[in-house]
Chains A and B, each alone.
Chain A
């Protein structure tokens, strides 16, 4: 039996054990008591009466998931949109902020990596700005940009910038001296050297920075959307909390995890495509 097959079987087994435990933990129990009808309306009568946990069973979540997957793009007003639309909003914001950050951070990282002077001059700013929680920028962004959507994109931009900037600068600065010497003895012009020697040499490090960035961006967008509201998967989760629909929250969480994994794997594929073996 191959290692992959064994690992797959073990993963499957773990999933069955987990779902089984969840199922057992949320089974209805006996006993009853009088309950507040409002509360009963929210979490179902059995749950409110204590006969059943308010936490949904795996089957409840499965049904919800199926409901969402069979109609992901419906739009019934601002507080009731399909999970597909919400995810699309979040992905669009992340990609917009991420792309802006790449356009800004990669060229700047190149300059910092090539110039020890710039590196030393900009380092204090980077060191101070880097540890700031991206959400701390939100009020400032809302005040200056005056738009919650744009502000979320800005927050993504800020949090994606640092890993890309630092990795690009590091990758460019640590290009092997001998490759630069080769291009010098061949009288390669600076632009051609940057594009055909330094860029491919630093590409794996730059891509690693981008992979870290997209991971952080996806973490931050959920929090940012919870804060500003309106649209997006973060808002969806928060909205379902207000509705006390745990099954919907779990569906949202699962979707966040899956999309995050897909984004990460896409960047991992690109990293593999540009990496080289020495």
Chain B
């Protein structure tokens, strides 16, 4: 059994005219310990809802989430969350924001212990010297680093990142991505991350879940990111597999994500979405698509 198993997850809302709107359904996937999994899909496919269900902040209409052999029911310190809008408390300094989390995790620690621990994670995200600044005095990138440090500092079994770099400029995003790579290599943290950015997923993820468009979104495909680690932002695009995987994902986002719902899904098993290793051959056959278009990988 994998570390995190999601089975038949679905989210439905009653609509005002008495019908039921399905955001996503039959969502099945697993995350292994130490694995970095990204989920990509267009807005409205329910990515954030899935993440919130994993975090315990939202409930699904059906299906189960099991982490470490225990069903997820409500939020827990075992799952750290980095929020899209950093979610720092503006009245607390950088140090106090992180200490708030640390004190929740280890209530018996004394001040010195907690402070030493916080400092370690402040140094880790490169914010040494900004400990006593308030969030309002920090740039967007620095705020998001505090959010990352806060999530890592409680040393959760799993980290959930809700598009953490979405609001940052490209340059800052690159710098923090590099830092995240380093931290992940050092901590072997299990991570589930939402992103819109194909290149970000290629740089960070071991596996990428591709979601079809909502309503009735599914995990249509799973892409294995076979680019060897360590990966470097400056040289990754020279890897022979880079553009093959990238093109596969971009093609999905441009056409297949839209056509998935009305496509002929006879070959599609929601329990085992097709897994692709672009450039290395297809492991399981792709779902047949009604239109005549042929997708060529590699």
Contacts and interface: CB of A to CB of B under 8 A. Distances in A.
Interface of A: 176, 178-179, 181-188, 196-197, 200-201, 203, 274, 276-278
Contact of B136 (A186, A203, A274, A278): A278
A197 B89 CA distance: 8
Interface of B: 55-57, 75-77, 79-81, 83, 85, 87, 89-92, 100-101, 104-105, 134-136, 154
B72 to A, nearest CB: 12
Contacts of A274: 91
A276 B83 CA distance: 20
| Residue in A179, A181, A185 with the greatest tally of chain B CB atoms within 10 Å | A185
A200 B76 CA distance: 23
Contacts of A178: 83, 85, 87
A252 B45 CA distance: 69
Contact of B75 (A187, A197, A200, A277): A187
Given A197-B89, A200-B91, A276-B90, A185 B100 contact: no
A73 B56 CA distance: 65
- Chain B binding site: helix, strand, loop or mixed by DSSP? loop
Contacts of A201: 89, 91
Contact of A278 (B55, B57, B90): B90
- Chain A binding site: helix, strand, loop or mixed by DSSP? helix
A186 to B, nearest CB: 4
A185 B161 CA distance: 13
Contact of B105 (A176, A186, A197, A203): A186
Contacts of A182: 81, 83, 87, 89, 101
A186 B91 contact: no
A187 to B, nearest CB: 5
B134 A276 contact: yes
Contacts of B135: 278
B75 A196 contact: no
A274 B81 CA distance: 28
Given A200-B91, A278-B90, A185 B56 contact: yes
Contacts of B56: 184-185
A196 B77 CA distance: 18
Contact of B101 (A181, A184, A186, A200): A186
Contact of B79 (A185, A188, A276): A185
A181 B57 contact: yes
Given A184-B57, A185-B56, A196 B100 contact: yes
Contact of A185 (B55, B134, B136): B55
Contacts of B104: 183, 186-188
A200 B80 CA distance: 23
A181 B135 CA distance: 18
A187 B77 contact: yes
| Residue in B56, B85, B89 with the greatest tally of chain A CB atoms within 10 Å | B89
